[in-house]
A and B are shown apart, each in its own frame.
Chain A
Amino acid sequence: MNYIHHDTVVKRMSKRLLKNKIYKMLFLSATLLALLVLAVLGYRMIIQGTGYLNWDFFNNFSSRFPQNAGIKAALVGSIWLLAIVAPVSLILGVGAAVYLEEYAKKNRITTFIQMNISNLAGVPSIVFGLLGLTIFVRMLGMGKSVLAAGLTMSLLILPVIIVAAQEAIRAVPNELREASYGIGATKWQTILKVVLPSAIPGILTGGILALSRAIGETAPLVVIGIPVIIHFLPESIFSEFTALPMQIFDWAKRPQEEFQYVAAAGILVLMAVLVFMNSIAVIIRNKFSKRY
């Protein structure tokens, strides 16, 4: 008896190969489309922006003359912002993740908390802005300071960091923990010396990606009312400041056409910062991630 109908297979073969080819092209074009958009965006920004990218651009405050306008206040402001967001969000986020993964019992309350964290990750950033305005800026009287904006941004990216850190901690094999307990380590010792060191590449990768989101977010800053016309640098975390996306937004709204090019130059700086941060994340992942 013949199990394979040779003729039928041959007959259908060309049809199947064609189908295969069509799907391949379809998915390839999906990939290319995404890349194309990025390429067009990058090309436009580079064409428009490079003319304004020079040393003065980094060393000047914004100005009414497009050729004198610089990004100093915004760039330094964004770095200050990061100096608040990074420690606050990483410590709170990793702490919460350690609790949820290592300490919390798996019961309804934990599930409920878990669900809410995932939901929070989907809340629009403008809502966090309103929260920050009410609590940090007004109730706690922090004003439009680096601190108030930094704490708001930390809240915004906290859910993302918690979820990323949880994933990383969950990926640490149980055998490692058991071995640690086996030689008499306590739970805290195990977490500190076994779990966290092996989870940290994953935590940092997720953390840095979340931080780069905080750098690029505009809506919460607009809601808080971060000033854009500012001709000084922050001196402490209570100083007022401005940030890269706010400055770009302001330039893009100006009437004079030249400011569109200044905005493009600002976008290039912002993109460079983001690419830099993301490549650190990639390096950490490739260099330190362990396979078990």
Chain B
Amino acid sequence: MKNWKYFMMTSIVGSALILGACGNSNSESSKGSSTTSQTDAQAGENEKLEGKISGDGSSTVAPIMEAIVEEYSAVQPKVQVSVGVSGTGGGFEKFINGETDFSDASRPIKEEEAAKLKEKNIDYTELKIAFDGLSIVVNKENTWLKDATADEIKKIWLEDGKEKKWSDINPKWPNEKIVYYSPGTESGTYDYFVNDILEGKDIVKSATLSEDDNVLVKGVESDKNAIGYFGFAYYVANKDKLQVVKVDGVEPTHDTIESGEYTPLSRPLFVYVKNEAVKNNSVMYNFTEYMVKNAGPMAEAVGYVKAPEDVYKEDLAKVEKLKK
């Protein structure tokens, strides 16, 4: 009996303290709406900085960001970088809300997103950090679709109100239903595919949409009549389970993506940074600079393709300009 009384007392007192603390800090944190915390120290090359940066965005870009954050935390252990993976659209939503300092994207910013940012007076800069080749994949047992023209791909994926069979696209192909796997609507990969390949028209309704690319890999792997698409890194990691489709005779490889030969499915990957954060927060400036300088090798390390040297030089110039 007595023990329980003590337990109750301690838990009541303890929680009162914690709740009290909550009360205080609410008012404190609501004062500063920005997520960045400032440090006075100027960013020197080897200086140890302290501060916080937060970002969010594309799951396609996430592996590159993780590699950069991992390396950066070794260089600047006191800088707290946190990156969420809410998808390109979800990331921009937070960016517009002023909750993040940078946003990862696997497609360029949309007009309506740019308009909203303008409304909120948030200036941003677009940085290209790597290249990705959207890979169209089919099942290993698929013998008919080795090479497709961009038009055929469009024809396969467009919604036309009917159930589609392979033979509808090309009479030589089997008379069997096509099974579709596509990334989910939150992802920039989906947006890019619909906007740039399907020219903004509807994707087939029967497609299985998933935010988890491994679901797509498993889906295509297990159905002879399946077709799907996703980022190059997922194809590379599952090369032995899937078959990639050449587009207009070009297979997505490291070289064809880098040279731009693999069109129209090569796409740049972006990071959008908040100008104000880069300008006023030396930690953010330092991190951005580090990111641009290391994005190439980091992208390669996780299965993507680095952008040409000029792109990074251009990015760096943009960042330096912001600082001034």
Interface residues of A, Cβ cutoff 8 Å to B: 61-64, 83-84, 87-88, 90-91, 137-138, 140-145, 147, 192-193, 196-197, 200, 222, 225-232, 237-240, 242, 250, 252-257, 260
Q: Which residue of chain B has its CB nearest to the CB of A148?
A: B29
Query: Is the CB–CB distance between B85 and A229 below 8 Å?
Result: yes
Q: Chain B interface: which size bin? A: 35 or more
Does B84 contact A64, Cβ atoms closer than 8 Å?
no
Question: How far, in Å, is B70 (CB) from chain A's closest CB?
Answer: 6
Question: Given A91-B15, A232-B80, does the pair A252, B237 have CB atoms closer than 8 Å?
Answer: no
A142 contacts across to B, CB distance below 8 A: 26, 29-30
- By beta carbon, the residue of chain B nearest A232 is B80
Whether A237 and B22, one on each chain, are in contact in the complex, defined by CB atoms closer than 8 angstroms, is yes
Query: Hey, which bits of chain B sit against chain A, CB under 8 A?
Result: 1, 4-5, 7-8, 11-12, 14-15, 18-19, 21-22, 25-26, 29-30, 33, 35, 52, 54, 56, 59, 62-63, 65-67, 69-70, 73, 80-86, 90, 94, 97, 99, 211-214, 231, 233-234, 236-238, 301-303
CA distance A88 to B69 in the complex (A): 34
Distance between Cα atoms of A193 and B99 in the complex (Å):
48
A147 contacts B22, CB within 8 Å? yes
10 new A-B contacts at CB < 8 Å, known A228-B83, A229-B84: A91-B19, A145-B29, A197-B5, A225-B84, A227-B83, A228-B62, A230-B80, A255-B234, A255-B237, A257-B237
CB pairs A–B below 8 angstroms (8 shown): A61-B70, A91-B11, A91-B15, A141-B29, A231-B70, A238-B25, A242-B82, A252-B214
Q: By the criterion CB–CB under 8 Å, are B99 and A143 in contact?
A: yes
* A256–B237 CB distance below 8 A: yes
- The dominant DSSP class at the B interface is helix
Q: Are A61 and B85 in contact (CB under 8 A)?
A: no
Q: Is the CB of B213 within 8 A of A255?
A: yes
Residues of chain A within 8 A of B70, CB atoms compared: 61-64, 231
Give every chain A residue within 8 A of B8 (Cβ-Cβ). Answer: 192, 196-197, 200
Q: How far is the CB of B125 from chain A (nearest CB, A)?
A: 21
B230 to chain A, nearest CB (A): 9
Chain B's closest residue to A145 (CB) is B29
Q: How far is the CB of B50 from chain A (nearest CB, A)?
A: 11
Q: Select from chain A the residue with minimum beta-carbon distance to B1.
A: A197
